[in-house]
Amino acid sequence: MSDARLAVAQTRFALRGYARDTSALVFTALFPVILLLLFNAIFKGNTKFDGRDVPSGAYYTASIISYVITLVSFASLLNRITTARERGLLKRFRGTPMPSWVYLVSEIGRTVVVVYATVALIVAVGAIFYHVHLSGHLLEGLVVYVALGVCCFCSLALALSGVCKTADSASAIGPLAATILSFLSGVFIPTFLMPTWLIDIGKVFPLEHAAQGLQSAFLIDGSTGINAINTGVLLAWAVVALVVASRNFRWEARGPGVN
């Protein structure tokens, strides 16, 4: 069997494991939908984006999509990889005839499938309950930013896994970072309600650019939301993270006392 077929088979196996994990299904699929419903219940009617009044339903549909990308591609992947390493699974996997990179590809492949499936669910909820208008421009921006976001945050998860010494630290750092970045990036709270200095901090990080691009695609008629700044920042973070990951990624367990 070729390496490519091995990667596909391993990805299929990872997806079956995910489908059997009820808590993972609830956390990655149901939780974002609940957030979408809650935010639209709190911020009813219109909000502001780019100096104009926009429907809150469309705003939070785009925002929760960006949150899903971060939650699944970064927090969940970071936790899975660190946990597998600390349990010795990565070391044992590396001792098999299968190329070691197949495991990482399968985990990223699982992430891609889960993200796109969850995004499709959120878009469906937005279209049905909040009258989000789907267009060719919107879908183009959606596909591009989801792809760039997954690439960026998966790279960050691989990079940070080398820093996390235990599965407990990874399970705490990932969701905490996703939540803090969501507050800084206009995901949970519209930026017009935030102080300028907080907005400036958010612009340093990739989530703000993924969220802004998606929000532009959902809220500005005829716009894909794709621009050089947003895509450039996402790609730059991805490249830097991959360089760090290539140097610091660990296959063997490291306890809290190991440097």
Domain edges within the chain: 3-248
Please report the pLDDT score of residue 259 as a whole number. Answer: 42
Partners of 55 in the β-ladder: 46
pLDDT at residue 254 in the model: 63
pTM, two decimals, is: 0.92
Reported as a pLDDT band with limits 50, 70 and 90, residue 251 is confident
What counts of helices (H) and strands (E) characterise the chain? 12, 2
Confidence band for 24, pLDDT divided at 50, 70 and 90: confident
Element (H, E) at 259: none
Kindly report, residue by residue over 131-150, the tens digit of the pLDDT.
Answer: 999 999 999 999 999 999 99
Could you tell me if 130 and 61 are in contact, meaning their C-beta atoms sit under 8 angstroms apart? yes
Tokens (6 digits) for 137: 């421009």
- 2 versus 171: the higher-pLDDT residue is 171
SS3 220: coil
The per-residue pLDDT of the chain, averaged, comes to 89
**pLDDT tens-digit profile of 73-104?**
999 999 989 988 888 888 887 777 777 788 88
pLDDT at 57 over 60: yes
Specify the pLDDT at position 93.
77
> What does the pLDDT read at residue 66?
97
